[in-house]
Amino acid sequence: MIKVKRKPFDEITSVVEKYNNILIVGCGGCASVCFGGGLNEVKWLKKDLENFFSTSNKKFSFYVVERACNEKFFTGLENIVAEQSADCIICMSCSAGTQLIAQRFSKIPVYPAVNTVAIAFDVDVGLFKEVCRACGNCIIGYTGGICPVTRCSKSLFNGPCGGMINGHCEIDPNTPCAWYEIYERLKEQNRLEELERIIPFIEWKNQIPQIIVQYGYEDKYEKK
């Protein structure tokens, strides 16, 4: 899932200074699961901000939506925004949710309180390892299930650079060499001939914002 991490506290306080009625919104999806923006984090941020701004009379309120990336879950949020008449929303969901909230409540300034870091899997409680950069061109089947775009420091697409020292990258000795791991994994599965396959380059297609239409739904959205 998408993992988020809270911004440094002084960045958030520098934003909140200008406003008097702040609503903190959390998300019960990815942000909750990675301990970045769930109910607990929203409550602690509210308490920290109240302590920091104890001399000025700012009003803080909070609400957690089920998922911030789909508008049908916004009914409760709309009621709260109307009730509290907030003049600023601090959002602790991933960037997709923050942008949808900003679009829905376009008259109120919306600020993120978290950085959307990566797509990662769980290694242990609170420890996550990034494995995907959403490049839109998934070739991990040919590399034994290991993504060279993310896990190689140089994002080499078709083979190692040759600078590996003891299984680790020459750039950072604490990063394992992705192509070394790919080699070991393919050897375990007796598929070393996949290493000779040349995969066409992405050529920066992933840097353009994409609209994604799922298979089976094309005729709903086709231009007439």
Q: Using the rule CB under 8 A, is 63 a contact of another protein?
A: yes
Between the alpha carbon of residue 27 and those of residues 64, 73, 104, 211, 217, the distances in Å are 5, 10, 16, 23, 28
Q: Which of 57, 106, 174, 190 binds another protein (CB under 8 A)?
A: 174
Least CB distance to another protein at residue 217 (A):
12
64 interacts with another protein by CB under 8 A: yes
Question: Residue 21 gets which letter from DSSP?
Answer: E
Spatial separation of the C-alpha atoms in residues 19 and 191, rounded to whole Å: 60
Q: Residue 28 interacts with another protein (CB under 8 A)?
A: yes
Smallest gap, in angstroms, from Cβ of residue 53 to another protein? 19
- Is 126 one of the binding residues for another protein (CB under 8 A)? yes
Quote the crossing angle between the two packed helices 39-52 and 9-16, to the nearest 10°: 70
Residue with Cβ nearer another protein (201 or 217): 217
Of 54, 82, 172, 216, the one binding another protein by CB under 8 A: 172
Of the pair 32, 98, the CB lying nearest another protein is at 32
With tokens 């061109």, the residue in question is: 137
Q: Which is nearer to another protein, 126 or 209 (CB)?
A: 126
User: Site size for another protein, by CB under 8 A?
Assistant: 29
Query: In whole angstroms, what is the distance from residue 175 CA to residue 168 CA?
Result: 6
Main-chain phi, psi angles of 104, to 5 degrees: -70, -40
Smaller CB separation from another protein, 19 or 45: 45
- Residue 32 contacts another protein per CB under 8 A: yes
Q: Which is nearer to another protein, 29 or 148 (CB)?
A: 29
Q: Which stretch binds another protein (CB under 8 A): 49-57, 65-73, 180-188, 214-222?
A: 65-73
Bridge partners (DSSP) of residue 119 are: 2, 132
Sign of CA dihedral 13, 15, 18, 23: negative
Among 62, 20, 71, smallest CA distance to 41 is for 62
Q: Taking CB under 8 A as the rule, does residue 37 contact another protein?
A: no
Q: Which helix (H) or strand (E) holds 127?
A: strand 127-132
Question: In the beta sheet, which residues pair with residue 129?
Answer: 121
The answer to whether 194 and 186 have CB atoms below 8 angstroms apart is yes
Residues that bind another protein (CB under 8 A): 26, 28-29, 32-33, 35, 38-40, 43-44, 47, 63-64, 66-67, 72, 76, 123-127, 129, 172-176
